[in-house]
Structure 1
Amino acid sequence: MKRLLLTPVFMLGLSSLASAADAVVLEPTPEVLPAGFVWTGGYIGIQGGWQWGRDHTFESAGGVPTGLDEDLDSDGFIGGLHVGYNWQSGQIVYGAEADFEFSTTDGGYRIAGPDGTDFDMNWQGSLRARVGYVPTERLLIYGTAGLAFANLEYTYVQDETTFESFDETKAGWTVGAGVEYAFTDNMTARLEYRYTDFGGVSNLSTVAFPGNTYDHDPQFHAVRIGLSYKF
């Protein structure tokens, strides 16, 4: 009698388990898509370009202007290394960058005599902030500004026979803008323009024109191209 009663109960249990199994719907595992390119990360690279500048030589004697106020134009190749780090938030990218370059920038002028002044920039560098906008995933349009520093050398020339040189490592400021494109996940190329101003440079001549003071105001424009490896 007990076996007759247990059999229907057992069959009912199996039926319930089968119904529960039919109710389970197996969802397919969602496909994990690879993340798109992001600008966040450190990078190091090379850069080079052309720089041109406009300076003045203003002469005074005992604080009294002598009337000499000559333009001093210069230009030359610049090239070196840069290193930095970017952070990306949405379509905004911000970061910091430092660079160091050797320079062949030089120039000068001559007046009757011939007397004059020669100029050379031996090296320069900068430490800057960068802020940019990403209109498409791999294109960055940015602005940059910060501290600049350089070694500036002036040579006073009297009658092409007496030469007096002095150099000064001078700090100033720089500002510019550029575009950068990531053509692989690790390599980017850039084109950048910057303006740099080193303020005033003053020197009292003791050899070529003793007692005369010369004031300069070196300012430069530069266009650079660069290639970076992103970590």
Structure 2
Amino acid sequence: MMGVSGSPLAADVSSSEAFNWTGGYVGAQIGYSASGAAEYYLEERTWNDDYDYDKTLRGLLGGVYVGYNHQFDNGVVLGGEADVTFSDIHASLLAPGDWAYEATTKIDRAAAARVRLGVAVDRFMPYIAGGISYARLNFHETNSVNSGSADANLFGWNLGVGGEYAVTDNLALRAEYRYTKYNNKSLFVDGTASDYAYDVKSNTNEFRVGIAYKF
């Protein structure tokens, strides 16, 4: 009797085992930069501030990510992750003191490497993440006669918070907010009339969703 009744009980216990987040994964994501900023200040201060720009960066992004998690016995999950995105994060603005001039900014690609720290609640895992970031920025300024442009590699740091849910043993959905602050950059503009330089400060505020395959 005991042998017969014990068999289905063992099967029930096995089927209710908690999900484990340990393992590698690869995923795809899309997102939107809602309220980033790019601030330009002319380095040559003998000029006035008519051509300083303060622009709000917005646009879509998409890319891939890859990483690895390790879940400890107490439910803490520690992992590392890297991602690459391609985007249309941009802004356009007339010069504050000279409306004949217009400047456009675009971030067309970015990458990040991060450490993630989460807590496993069975198939749900809230987490925080942070690390280093890279982006490629393009600046273009023009009026009816003259124009100037420059490209710059930006480096900085990122901090994010999100949640992930394993819908199956191999597929996990996520949603995340990420703030990225890039280092101040000296941007040398090659102009048709003259060359000049801007000090650039920039950041992004991004909301992302993704789906990953867990190995």
Flag the 1:208–1:58 CA change in 2: closer, same or farther, 3 A: farther
Of the candidates 125, 130, 152, which is equivalent to residue 145 of structure 1? 130
Q: Which amino acid in the other structure matches residue 59 of structure 1?
A: L
Structure 1 residue 213: Cα displacement: 2.3
1:68-100 per-position Cα deviation (integer Å, ceiling 9, x unaligned): 432111211000100000000121101000000
Instruction: Select the residue among 33, 38, 41 that pairs with 1:58.
Output: 41
Which residue in 2 is equivalent to 1:219? 203
Task: Give distance in 2, aligned partners of 1:147 and 1:187.
Answer: 27
User: Which of 94, 105, 126 pairs up with 2:112?
Assistant: 126
Percent sequence identity over aligned pairs:
30
- Find the counterpart in structure 2 of residue 22 from structure 1: none
Q: Which residue of 2 aligns with 1:115?
A: 101
CA contact (8 A) 1:156 1:208 kept: no
Match of 2:26 in 1: 44
More divergent stretch after superposition (206-215 vs 42-51): 206-215
Residue pair 1:83, 1:98 contacting (<8 A) in 2 also: yes
Alignment correspondent of 2:70: 87
Structural RMSD (CA): 2.0
Structure 1 runs not aligned, ≥5 long: 1-26
Which secondary structure does the structure 2 equivalent of 1:137 belong to? Answer: coil
Alignment TM-score, normalising by the size of structure 2: 0.86
- 1:24-35 superposed matches below 5 A: 28=3, 31=10, 33-34=14-15, 35=17
**Kept after mapping to 2: 8 A contact 1:127/1:147:** yes
Over 3 Å off, 4+ runs: 27-32
Aligned length: 203
Structure showing greater radius of gyration is 1
Match of residue 72, structure 1, among 55, 60, 65: 55
Q: CA 1:75/1:209 → structure 2, altered by over 3 Å: closer, same or farther?
A: farther
TM-score normalized with structure 1 length? 0.81
> Hey, what's the Cα distance between the residues in 1 that align with 2:186 and 2:118?
37
Q: For 2:201 and 2:193, how far apart are their aligned partners in 1? A: 20
The structure that is strand-richer by fraction is 2
CA distance in 1, matches of 2:94, 2:113: 35
Tell me how far apart the structure 2 counterparts of residues 197 and 161 of structure 1 sit (CA, whole Å).
34
Tell me the distance in 2 between the aligned counterparts of 1:185 and 1:205: 52
Q: Following TM superposition, by how much is the alpha carbon of 1:203 offset from its aligned partner in structure 2, in angstroms?
A: 2.3
1:200 paired residue number: 184
The AA in structure 1 aligned to 2:32 is: W
Contact 2:94 2:102 in 1 (8 A): yes
Instruction: Give the letter aligned to residue 39 of structure 1.
Output: W
**Partner SS state of residue 205, structure 1:** strand
SS in 1 for 2:49: strand
